[in-house]
Amino acid sequence: MRAWLDETHGPTFELLRHFLLRFFDSELVTSPGQTVLALIGSSTMFLVWFPFFAGPIQDKYKHLSSLASPEPYRLALRADHLWLITMLMSAIGLLTAIKWQSLFPSLTDYRAIGWMPVRARQVFGAKLAALLIVATGAIAVLDLLPCMGFPALSGGRWAFHQSIGSQAVALLAAVVAASYFVLFALITVQGVILNLFRRSIQGLLAATMLIGLVLSFSIGPSTVRWATSTPVAIWLPPVWFLGLCQAMSGDPDPTMQAMAHRAATALTAAVVFALAAYTVTYRRHKALTLEGIKAARRERPWYGTVFDWLVPDPRRQAVMTFLAKGILGNGPHRMILMGYGGFGLAILLGSMIGVPGTPARFVYAHVILLIFLLIGLRHLFSIPVELKANWAFRMTEGEGRKEWRSAIDAFVLFFGALGGAIPFPFEAHLLGWQAVSESVLFVVFCLAAYEAVFASWEKLPFTCSYLPGKQPIWMVALKLFALLAALPVVSAILLACLDNWLLYAATFAVLLAIWVRSSRARREHWAESRLLYDDTPDPAIHSLNLLR
């Protein structure tokens, strides 16, 4: 087999090989093959998530099977099926949104293939085949284990089909159909967007899928009752494929049967529209990629004068303008930032159910959105926009290193202040003078949190090479869980300060002292320490010789 693969097998096969090998390459990653290593680590982490739920799921359905009525069992089964379908649909949608640029050939592909004696339909067919192969592999990795394992855990005497194999086939068919529906639907959306608006909604899609992924864990029996009885809810795609799963499992409910028919129709329509949109968009995408979009010349807007007044130093102006354009003018970077925002919003929405009282909700919202904004910006700043252009910063670093770093501080803190100022009028209307004390305390907390997140930051944003997967994925997941566990504790402390002036004063003093000391220690080394432009693996990786 290896010898056969080493040979040349015609233009279509070689194009397919080319697109498959380059599918996971990204302009955001400056080391070839590093993305594949990160994906392998993420996949292995994902494969072990389901066993953690095995014990509680099995105990729940043993109890429900022992009840005299079948309704609690069947309602819980519908809720868990809807959870699995929504979660796995969102996961596939998130992967599709992340690899949004890989749905069509890149500029490098066009330049490399354009001179070759190949037809456009061969390039089109090879790219589409590569996309379907990668998508099928991802669907198999994500869907197979939970769909085969869940029926073995949830079986009981009230199931419509007593055969675990029949239940597994029904669940797997519904989840796989739902996954392909999301894939083809997003291909259609991209085709429509590129043809009509010439813009990408990658960031919005990534944030939406993250919200759906996180909120899927809050699906319960009450959600299923609402989803099967409300006219608006039956237009939600996960409910359609829930109906397909239930119909294949033998559920005679007319609503489930109708949803099953809608799921089959929707999947067929998604495939047809996706192929049509892909065909129409292919030539337009090639023209836009090769020729580019001419930007119209505009006069300087009024806020440019305000910017000159607020930031008179030209070096700081240049860095802050560079940061703003690096985020707003680059689709993948917007996608990353909106992804962090979507994840934080999903955590916030999922947690609001158990947070009583208006002050508590405001405090919790401020803390969550601030932390995810800071972490998202730090991650975003570490990814280069055009790495080969960083020579301009290397040459002039000594002239304005201190001003550059202070501009980064001002840029991040400005958006943090903006995020707190926008909801302040609404907060003041509901809380009165308590909103002022809460905002003052939150400002100091924001400054201390910024120093904690950016304490080790030694780069100019968007100019340093980037190597993902420098930490094991299990360590990243552990840090995320620790952060999610700490956020309610921090919010509870800040909320308690609003009702106790002694605690308020003590907390304010501690946070202020942390900020002053951390900020002073970080700024003392600005003039001497050089900025980093080359990201390297951790010393532990070097000592193990894993890169040889």
Does residue 193 lie within any of the structural domains? yes
Confidence of residue 547 (pLDDT cuts 50, 70, 90): very low
For residue 485, give the 3-state DSSP assignment.
Answer: helix
The answer, yes or no, to whether residue 314 has pLDDT greater than 70, is: yes
Structure token digits, residue 189 = 């959306």
Q: What is the 8-class DSSP label of residue 532?
A: B
Structure token digits, residue 221 = 């029996």
From 401, 381, 238, 245, select the one nearest 322 (Cα to Cα): 381
Q: Give alpha helix (H) positions in 66-163.
A: 71-98, 107-113, 120-154
The answer, yes or no, to whether residue 2 has pLDDT greater than 70, is: no
Please name the helix (run of DSSP H) or strand (run of DSSP E) that holds residue 315, with its range, or none.
helix 314-328
The answer, yes or no, to whether residue 102 has pLDDT greater than 50, is: yes
Say what the alpha-carbon torsion angle 408, 409, 415, 418 is, to the nearest 10 degrees.
Answer: -150
Do 221 and 344 belong together in one domain?
A: no
Q: Which amino acid is at 257?
A: Q
CA angle 376, 511, 358 (to 5 degrees): 70
Do 271 and 333 belong together in one domain?
A: no
Distance between CA atoms of residues 251 and 158, nearest Å: 11
Does residue 279 lie within any of the structural domains? yes
Instruction: Return the axis-axis angle of helices 164-196 and 120-154, rounded to nearest 10°.
Output: 140
The answer, yes or no, to whether residue 546 has pLDDT greater than 50, is: no
* Mean pLDDT of the residues in the chain: 79
Distance between CA atoms of residues 415 and 427, nearest Å: 18
Is residue 155 within 8 Å of residue 61, measured between CB atoms? Answer: yes
Q: Which domain holds residue 339?
A: 319-543
pLDDT value for 14? 78
Does residue 346 lie within any of the structural domains? yes
Do 242 and 347 belong together in one domain?
A: no
Distance of CA 254 to the CA centre of its chain: 37
For residue 268, give the 3-state DSSP assignment.
Answer: helix
Do 403 and 488 belong together in one domain?
A: yes
Do 285 and 327 belong together in one domain?
A: no
Do 408 and 505 belong together in one domain?
A: yes
From 208, 215, 214, 466, select the one nearest 339 (Cα to Cα): 208
**Cross-strand partners of 290:** none
Does residue 303 lie within any of the structural domains? no
Distance between CA atoms of residues 51 and 157, nearest Å: 23
Does residue 63 lie within any of the structural domains? no
For residue 263, give the 3-state DSSP assignment.
Answer: helix
Confidence of residue 380 (pLDDT cuts 50, 70, 90): confident
Distance between CA atoms of residues 42 and 80, nearest Å: 24
Burial 233-252 (b: 16+ CB within 10 A, else e): ebeebbbbbbbbbbbbbebe
Structure token digits, residue 393 = 């910063």
Do 249 and 359 belong together in one domain?
A: no
Distance between CA atoms of residues 47 and 145, nearest Å: 7
Q: CB burial class (10 A; 0-12, 13-18, 19+) of residue 194?
A: buried
pLDDT value for 475? 74
Do 183 and 232 belong together in one domain?
A: yes
For residue 135, how many C-alpha atoms fall within 13 Å in the half-sphere facing its CB?
A: 28
Does residue 66 lie within any of the structural domains? no
Structure token digits, residue 141 = 């990795």
The answer, yes or no, to whether residue 162 has pLDDT greater than 80, is: no
pLDDT value for 234? 75
Distance between CA atoms of residues 112 and 449, nearest Å: 47
pLDDT tens digits, one per residue of 466-483: 877 666 666 777 787 888
Do 195 and 155 belong together in one domain?
A: yes
Distance between CA atoms of residues 115 and 8, nearest Å: 18
Number of domains in the chain: 2
Does residue 59 lie within any of the structural domains? no
Structure token digits, residue 364 = 């919790």
From 366, 458, 448, select the one nearest 404 (Cα to Cα): 458
pLDDT tens digits, one per residue of 238-284: 999 999 999 998 888 888 899 999 999 999 999 999 888 777 776 66
From 216, 141, 133, 143, select the one nearest 177 (Cα to Cα): 143
pLDDT tens digits, one per residue of 115-148: 667 776 677 778 778 888 888 888 888 888 888 8
From 547, 536, 348, select the one nearest 458 (Cα to Cα): 536
Could you tell me the pTM of the whole model?
0.74
Structure token digits, residue 346 = 């999903």
Does residue 114 lie within any of the structural domains? yes
Structure token digits, residue 163 = 């055969």
Do 393 and 284 belong together in one domain?
A: no
pLDDT value for 524? 82
Distance between CA atoms of residues 379 and 457, nearest Å: 11
pLDDT tens digits, one per residue of 319-370: 888 888 888 777 778 778 888 888 888 777 776 655 555 667 778 788 888 8
Q: What is the mean pLDDT of residues 145-158?
A: 84
pLDDT value for 194? 66
The proportion of the chain whose per-residue pLDDT surpasses 70, expressed as a percent, equals 78
For residue 496, give the 3-state DSSP assignment.
Answer: helix
Distance between CA atoms of residues 339 and 345, nearest Å: 10
Is residue 531 within 8 Å of residue 397, measured between CB atoms? Answer: yes
Do 282 and 382 belong together in one domain?
A: no
Distance between CA atoms of residues 24 and 205, nearest Å: 19
Do 259 and 202 belong together in one domain?
A: yes
